[in-house]
Amino acid sequence: MPAILRPAIVLLLLMTALTGLAYPLLITAVAQVLFPSQAAGSVVLRGGRAVGSALIGQSFSDPGHFWGRPSATAPQPYNGTASGGSNLGPLNPALADAVKARIEALRTADPAGAVKVPVDLVTASSSGLDPEISLAAADFQAPRIAQARHTSVGAVTALIEAHARGRVLGFLGEPRVNVLELNLALDGSR
């Protein structure tokens, strides 16, 4: 029996060291060298202080800031440890009620807005943490932000255009803007 167990134990220890220690350390080192910002969590700094991550949305409710997609995480919004969708199907009355309430809140915040509400402002992403909104969602909010900040809609729209990102590899996804970075730019333009 010991003759059979010894190779198995040696192999277990060898594979544990290889796949549990050596490989993760190698990949971490390569990531730190090739992609230092991403390996560090894509942390956004303001005045040398971390204010968030470019990969995780944040809750903004002030009328003078852009609002991101609704978060599906609970009990607190944009909780990275609770990532996941709401699991509510398109015919679920709870989802329909939540979307109606979100549309009403957007209409209340900007009663003069006659434009149709973009879908990404009233529905959560599959992770519930999406840090970006469509350009249509950003443009929809421009009049409210311009009024709250006592500036022109053109100035807010120019800021949106300056921070817009195109499709990934030129054909994947839709043009978008990072809400945190856009709000930091707004605060920097005061």
Asked if 48 contacts 161 with a C-beta cutoff of 8 angstroms, the reply is no
Q: Per-residue pLDDT tens for 46-74? A: 888 888 888 888 889 899 999 999 988 87
Question: 179 and 89 in one domain?
Answer: yes
Identify the domain containing residue 27 by its residue range: 1-39
Q: Per-residue pLDDT tens for 71-117? A: 888 778 888 777 776 677 888 898 899 899 999 988 888 877 667 89
**Residue 157 clears pLDDT 60, i.e. is over it:** yes
- At 86 the pLDDT is 67
- At 101 the pLDDT is 92
pLDDT band, very low/low/confident/very high, at 10 (cuts 50, 70, 90): very high
φ and ψ at residue 123, rounded to 5 degrees: -125, 140
- Cα dihedral 35/39/43/46 (nearest 10): -50
State mean pLDDT over 26-38. 92
Question: 79 and 23 in one domain?
Answer: no
**Residue 140 clears pLDDT 80, i.e. is over it:** yes
* Entry pTM: 0.78
- At 173 the pLDDT is 87
Total number of domains constituting the chain: 2
* Two tokens, residue 167: 């499709």
**Residue 2 clears pLDDT 70, i.e. is over it:** yes
- At 75 the pLDDT is 77
Question: 128 and 141 in one domain?
Answer: yes
Angle 177-146-115 from CA coordinates, rounded to 5°: 70
Question: 57 and 117 in one domain?
Answer: yes
- At 95 the pLDDT is 87
Question: 154 and 101 in one domain?
Answer: yes
